[in-house]
């Protein structure tokens, strides 16, 4: 008898459908089973408030997890940066596939790069993290910019530039890659300039922890290098007790000699959204061989950042 199709829970946005479709195809190849997409609307999709106002953490995730708990879907695909740092016992983070480009990118009028934007340029972003770093960079380089909070899907955001309302918007490279729109990018922002959100560019595949067969199948999509990197980044975020809408950036790089990775460098940043104050530090250690080792690196850097005053810059809650 033919096994029933696996049901993959996904948000309805064009980006979510694209990345879930890519995962569905990989699961079909891996398992030999059909996979059908089940579209689910999350609170983050219907709210028009800015993420910082609605709490950010989990607003794109909760409805998918509820569908998993009710047995309406067998597994779900999330953008890892949207995932709360605390993992529910009943759900398994079965796979973190190989990460896409973690950088942020600029889409500006007239093909402009960030450095060529005119003084007073209006730059749209829904991310306090991006605002903090863009404004800090502008301050140190004698530029005058205005960061404008925006919401909406990729088309809506790019539309603000096309209709002249904004000079530029900042988006994630990974999302544009996944929907085939990288050709619209006018500048790739170096991670030395803007650190991405913890887990940016990576996907998270969740299923019920009690479904051992499915956990084992999905584990075939896991990339161990991406897993340890994002574990360190998310551990830093958790140790700062900051939500995914807080102005926190983090990136773990695996460093080596071209043959093998020997070290992991973790960088973190916290700042006020006006860019007037930033705490930016890094630490390097051996490549973690376990979840606990990766998490320890994140906690270590978070402790150093807190000692430098990071808690007072996040605008969330006092630590």
- Please list the active-site residues: 82
Three-point CA angle 10, 11, 12, nearest 5° = 115
Cα separation of 148 and 304, whole Å?
A: 31
Q: Which two tokens stand for residue 161?
A: 């530039």
At 230, which helix (H) or strand (E)? helix 224-239
Cα separation of 191 and 183, whole Å?
A: 20
SS (H, E, C) 1-66: CCCCCEEEEECCCHHHHHHHHHHHHHHHHHHCCCEEEEECCCHHHHCCCCHHHHCCCCCCCHHHHH
Strand-pair category, 121-125 with 168-172: parallel
Q: What are phi and psi of 35, to 5 degrees?
A: -130, 130
Q: Which two tokens stand for residue 253?
A: 């790089």
Distances (CA, A) of 312 to 82, 118, 155, 186, 271: 23, 32, 35, 34, 9
Contacts of 23 (CB under 8 A, 6+ apart): 8, 77, 97, 203, 205, 221
Contacts of 172 (CB under 8 A, 6+ apart): 103, 104, 105, 196, 200, 201
Assess contact for 56 and 128: CB atoms under 8 A. no
User: Helices 154-162 and 14-31: crossing angle, nearest 10°?
Assistant: 140
């Amino acid at each position: 008898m033919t096994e029933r199709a696996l049901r993959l829970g996904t948000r309805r946005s064009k980006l979510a459908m694209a990345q879930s479709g890519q995962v569905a195809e990989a699961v079909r190849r891996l398992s030999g089973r059909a996979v059908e997409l089940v579209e689910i609307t999350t609170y983050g999709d219907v709210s028009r408030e800015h993420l910082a106002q609605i709490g950010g953490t989990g607003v794109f995730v909760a409805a998918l997890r509820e569908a998993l708990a009710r047995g309406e879907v067998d597994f779900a695909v999330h953008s890892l940066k949207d995932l709360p740092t605390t993992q529910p016992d009943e759900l398994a983070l079965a796979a973190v596939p190989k990460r896409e480009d973690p950088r942020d990118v600029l889409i500006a009028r007239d093909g402009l790069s960030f450095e060529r934007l005119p003084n007073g340029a209006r730059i749209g972003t829904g991310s306090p993290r991006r605002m903090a770093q863009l404004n800090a960079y502008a301050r140190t380089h004698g530029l005058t910019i205005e960061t404008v909070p925006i919401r909406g899907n990729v088309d809506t955001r790019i539309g603000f530039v096309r209709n002249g309302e904004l000079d530029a918007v900042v988006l994630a490279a990974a999302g544009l890659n996944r929907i085939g729109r990288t050709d619209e990018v006018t500048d790739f922002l170096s991670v030395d300039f803007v650190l991405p959100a913890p887990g940016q560019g990576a996907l998270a595949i969740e299923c019920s922890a009690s479904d051992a067969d499915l956990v084992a199948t999905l584990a075939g999509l896991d990339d161990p290098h991406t897993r340890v990197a994002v574990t360190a980044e998310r551990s830093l975020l958790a140790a700062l007790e900051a939500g995914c809408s807080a102005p926190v950036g983090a990136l773990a790089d695996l460093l080596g000699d071209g043959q093998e990775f020997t070290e992991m460098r973790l960088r973190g940043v916290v700042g006020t959204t006006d860019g007037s104050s930033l705490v930016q530090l890094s630490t390097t250690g051996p490549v973690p061989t376990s979840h606990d080792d990766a998490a320890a690196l994140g906690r270590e850097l978070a402790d150093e950042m807190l000692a430098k005053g990071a808690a007072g810059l996040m605008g969330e809650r006092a630590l």
